[in-house]
Amino acid sequence: MTALPMATLQSEQRGGRSNPYLLMPITLFFALLAFAVLRSPNLMTSAGLGAAIIVVTPLILATYALMASSISGRGTVDLSIGPLIGFVNVTLIQLQAAGVLENPIVVFLYAMAAGALYQLIFALIVIFVRVQPIIVSLSGYLALTGINLVILPRPGGMAPAFMAEWGYGTSIFSPILVILLIATAAWLLFTTTAFYTHLRLMGSDERAAYTSGVPITTVRIGAHLISGCFAGLAAICFTALISSGDPSQGTTYTLLAVTALVLGGASLAGGRGGVFGSALGAINLYLITFCLSTFNFGAVQSFVTNLAYGTILVLSLLLTLLIPVIQRYIRNFSPLLYFVALAVVVLGIILHATFDYAALGEVGAMLPGPLQMQVALTSPLEIGAVSPETAALRAAAGPLVLGAVLLIVTAVFLRLAFGQSDRAKIAPAIVVVMAMLVLAGAWGIRQGVTPPHVEAAP
């Protein structure tokens, strides 16, 4: 019973390959990024990236919190994640106003402890009272929404003094970015533990995990505690973003976090989810909002934004139905290689959108004589014209380049040969091909050892 889930886990963890569910979030991310930069190149400035980080970080952490509990299975989609963030926010503001919470360490400990305590109660009700998780989460959503309004009837208050400059978003490097990086690194370290393997196995097939000796109760409680800690960190970043308390604004993170989780390729049924896809899902939602903000829809701006969220979510769910078809043609899909390939293309678009062509024309107008394009387009670290000595060195380096290419071809050939055929049958063919490649490389290098004679420049 455990063979199928374990095989699935191993195939998804093997070198970052065989995970086609990241195809959609990666493609959507680069498409939205290219469109956003073309619409507003200011996104790539220090202030633009700083504002993006401060806005998207609470959503990314909320998605992490939602992912921790959803991986455990049973359809545990915590709809109360938004009000929970709002609860930590309003209580933090009220306690800080009363002079109870002033030390930054105490603030972080309180936020994470409050989130973990709520999730512990959530897990105990699901495990021992045996209530469906969706009912518990919906009840928590309604209860926390009312409690937040009782604690803080209207937006107000002041964030702790040490958070005063966190929400400015004028620089890329900020404490919010440090929190995001530490939280992401902590999640990646968590994925290397046996507890995470048990969690995914339980989410894939809880009965098989139980028969394999996995402590179901302990694993489920641990998943909810981790979810509560990430919810507390999201509340701290949300407090730094608005610099005050708001009992209603946090509820919007429920819909956004669920949408980001689905866009990131996670399964709401459990067993599948990753930090890379969840972060991309949250960033995609921010880019959708940013792209729509470059248009003027007037009074229906918020309705158009919600329509875009719903449309992209439905399309992504429909495209996930094509994943089995894609797997027939892409058996060893590498998300990292696909990400790098698209990053190179989008980087060219970003350079084109942010390059100041007008400044180049002004430089040409300041020159006393006719504009020499070769000189104008040559930077101080580049060479405008190649000297004869440089040409001779390039000719001498040709055989070395040929040898490097032969090594790459040899490595690819060996990988394909050993991966697709029986080693005993193909061993003689490998020896023959290797000998031919070595002889061809030696002959090519021998022919180019002596560089062509070049007269010395005066």
Q: pLDDT tens digit string along 50-87?
A: 889 999 999 999 999 988 888 887 767 888 898 999 99
pLDDT higher than threshold 60 for residue 158 = yes
Q: Which residue has the higher pLDDT, 382 or 7?
A: 382
Q: What is the DSSP string of 378-400?
A: --TTS-SS--HHHHHHHHHHHHH
Per the CB < 8 A criterion, the answer to whether 201 and 272 are in contact is no
Helix residue ranges, H only, 273-300:
275-293
What DSSP string describes 95-128? Answer: HHHTTS--SHHHHHHHHHHHHHHHHHHHHHIIII
Report domain extents, the chain. 3-350, 388-458
Using pLDDT thresholds of 50, 70 and 90, give the confidence band for residue 429: low
pLDDT at 454: 41
Average pLDDT over residues 444-451: 52
Question: Which of the residue ranges 5-14, 15-24, 123-132 has the most confident prediction, judged by mean pLDDT?
Answer: 123-132
What is the pLDDT at residue 22?
Answer: 80
pTM of this structure? 0.74
Query: Average pLDDT over the chain, rounded to whole?
Result: 78
What is the band of 4 on the pLDDT scale with cuts at 50, 70, 90? very low
Note the pLDDT of residue 11. Answer: 43
Banded model confidence at residue 184, pLDDT cuts 50, 70, 90: very high
pLDDT digits (tens, 9 = 90+) for 335-345: 778 888 888 88
- pLDDT band at residue 357 under the 50/70/90 scheme: low
Grouping H, G, I as helix, E, B as strand and the rest as coil, residue 295 is coil
Burial pattern 76-91, b for ≥16 Cβ within 10 A else e, equals bbbbbbbbbbbbbbbb
In whole angstroms, give the CA distance from residue 350 to residue 37.
6
Residue 312 has pLDDT above 50, yes or no: yes
